[in-house]
Chain A
Amino acid sequence: QTVVTQEPSFSVSPGGTVTLTCGLSSGSVSSSHYPSWYQQTPGQPPRTLVYSTNTRSSGVPDRFSGSILGNKAALTITGAQAEDESDYYCVLYMGSGIWVFGGGTTLTVL
């Protein structure tokens, strides 16, 4: 079974730039996987940040951007703020009506 991989944790300084990635245990991520990214804080439902690789959801600050980098999907935060300290999840559409979430990345801003 294909596993969706994410960095378990990442740290960024306030005002800095960080890129989180979303890969596959076998193969490359492409736009046909419709990669989406979610932000989640404790006790809250996920918030959709980016979908279809690089489309920001309504109301999401433009410091969040999505892309394909090499063989992975990527979420870049440019000018990180303290409020960006959260868990971040990606999900990929695997075809045949199946989605798989990554393991999530805990982002620390310090």
Chain B
Amino acid sequence: QVQLVQSGAEVKKPGASVKVSCKASGYIFNSYAMHWVRQAPGQRLEWMGWINIGIGNTKYSQKFQGRVTLTRDTSAKTAYMEMSNLTSEDTAVYYCARDVKRTISTWGQGTLVTVSS
């Protein structure tokens, strides 16, 4: 079955960077794009961007353009989300989710990133 397993929780200081991984299994990794979505505590879901796994091109929400980088390693069947210059407002659960026909479909379990001095 389709499964997305994300890396563990992170604690970072303000100004630091974080890189979250999302390992895929149960499907042909190269054939589906991957979305990244975050959710701050008690807040709504927020779409961050997506990456075409096959060719590697990306699209970002304007809010995250320039501060978030989405990449993938096709040999490892893993997608990555890296965010730089963290502030306390970036404290959130970060999700990866597979795209199927323009649907944000199967979700990872989420990775909590805490930014605190």
Contacts and interface: CB of A to CB of B under 8 A. Distances in A.
Grouping DSSP codes into helix (H, G, I), strand (E, B) and loop, the B interface class, with mixed when no group exceeds half, is strand
B50 A89 contact: no
B59 A36 contact: no
A99 B46 CA distance: 9
A53 B46 CA distance: 20
Given A45-B108, A45-B109, A89-B45, A98 B103 contact: no
A105 B37 CA distance: 18
B64 to A, nearest CB: 12
Contacts of B108: 45
Given A45-B95, A45-B110, A103-B44, A98 B61 contact: yes
Interface in A13-71: 34, 36, 38, 40, 45-48, 51-52, 57
Contacts of B44: 89, 101-104
A96 B60 CA distance: 10
A110 interface: no
Interface in B45-80: 45-47, 50, 59, 61-62
Interface in A78-110: 89, 91, 93, 96-104
Contact of B102 (A47, A48, A52): A52
Interface of B: 35, 37, 44-47, 50, 59, 61-62, 95, 100-110
9 contacts: A34-B101, A45-B95, A48-B104, A48-B105, A48-B107, A51-B103, A52-B101, A52-B102, A97-B50
